[in-house]
Amino acid sequence: MDFEQIAQNAKTACLDMAEVTTDVKNNALLAIADELEKHAKEIFEANKIDLEQARDIVSPSVFNRLKLDENKMRDMIQGIRDVVNLPEPIGKTLLARQLDDGLNLYKISCPIGVLGIIFEARPDVIAQISSLAIKSSNTVILKGGKESINTNKTILSVINNALEQVKDFPKNVVQQVFTHEEVAEMLECDKYIDLIIPRGSNKLVKYIKENTKIPVLGHADGICHIFLDKNADFEKAKNIIIDSKTQYPSACNAVETLLIHKNFEQTEELLKSLENAGITLISNPETWAFEHGDKTLAYKIVENIEEAITHINTYGSGHTDCIITEDEENAEKFMQKVDSAGVYHNVSTRFADGFRYGFGAEVGISTNKTHARGPVGLEGLTIYKYKLIGNGHIVKDYVEGKKQFNHKDL
């Protein structure tokens, strides 16, 4: 089947999804979760093949993302079940306004349509995005990296086998393509695809943004910062920084730069604690705008909070940045002036995640300033339409002054 036919099938399925009830969607998600649990062994075996083939070929950070272990599998399945428990995102009334007697305007949430997902390494993305797409009545075309092809095929086969068992659920809601040529076709397919979501390296995201007319949701870099204020609590600071750097160093929400106030009194002791935790510290990087993706942490001594904020807004990627301080006024100043999708006070940057935010799962983290920002869950996969209901109303009557708008919120 050629790509245009796949995309056309996705568009048709999306129109069919408009009539699928919440119960049917939830039944589909529960069926997927059950089947993934039942076939976990097969998925791990497929992942083992991918890992063996990728060893010594991909970077350590990509290898970590590629590995599907028991914890990731558990979170993946639980994420799907959590999505079931989330409120129905489609058909919500976001605004109701009477324009005139008998003339009512409604703003109603609806699906975006067909999503094109291009991702590298992380096979758990398939289940996360498929579950959110189903709950939000979207359809999805997935293109994973060749390094995870066996895992991807196995997971998608399990998902579609589950969906085939669900009464009244449309076909072609979740589809997958595999070749590099199909990526190029996806990026050109603005006739059928409504949104592209890239999940991968800076290079991948930049390539996609530069080669498509379709709107792109995502982030190119994860250059996250922690600013250690002069009156930060030492134990809190140590634990937060170590967690932010070492808990999963290759994640996009791992901290990359530590900014330390010049008057913080335990700097040397802190830096030693970080090194003891396996962190490699560098004080003079070639560039501050760099995502290490490992246990390397750049650090800088700054004069004050203003310098820290300026540094973050200059070199950061707008992803997630944190202040560690016991000064509420400084915390508020930081959180107001740092221009990022996530601004934190006294917590690890690793909390920037749709699962941890209670979104059930996420399609990715967006640093965009339109439509959706931060971890993107169900709401980020919805848009809205305006429904206007009248009774023979015509504009001419209002232009000529025969009738007047009253604009009352209902």
pLDDT of residue 11: 97
CATH tag for 224-351 (out of 3.90.1150.10, 3.40.50.10860, 3.30.230.10, 3.40.309.10): 3.40.309.10
**Rounded Cα gap, residues 336 and 373, in angstroms:** 16
Which residues, 6+ apart, have CB-to-CB distance to 41 below 8 Å?
A: none
| 129-143 residues labelled b (16+ CB within 10 A) or e (exposed) | bbbbbbbbbbbbbbb
- What predicted TM-score, i.e. pTM, was given to this entire model? 0.86
pLDDT of residue 220: 76
Instruction: Cite the residue boundaries of each domain of the chain with CATH code 3.40.605.10.
Output: 3-217+363-386
**Rounded Cα gap, residues 95 and 311, in angstroms:** 40
pLDDT of residue 205: 87
pLDDT tens per residue across all 410 residues of the chain: 899 999 999 999 999 999 999 999 999 999 999 999 999 999 999 999 999 999 989 988 889 889 999 999 999 999 899 999 999 999 999 999 999 999 999 999 999 999 999 998 889 989 989 999 999 999 999 999 999 999 999 999 999 999 999 999 999 999 999 998 999 999 999 999 999 999 887 788 889 999 999 999 988 789 999 999 999 999 999 999 999 999 999 899 999 999 999 999 999 999 999 999 999 999 999 999 999 989 999 999 999 999 999 999 999 999 999 999 999 999 999 999 999 999 999 999 999 998 899 887 788 889 988 888 999 989 999 999 999 999 999 999 999 999 999 999 99
pLDDT of residue 369: 85
**Structure tokens that stand for 292 in this block:** 């290490």
Instruction: Cite the residue boundaries of each domain of the chain with CATH code 3.40.309.10.
Output: 224-351
**Structure tokens that stand for 174 in this block:** 């979740």
**Structure tokens that stand for 26 in this block:** 């939830």
CATH tag for 3-217+363-386 (out of 3.10.620.30, 3.40.605.10, 3.30.1360.120, 3.40.50.150): 3.40.605.10
Burial class (CB in 10 A: 0-12, 13-18, 19+), 52: exposed
pLDDT of residue 162: 98
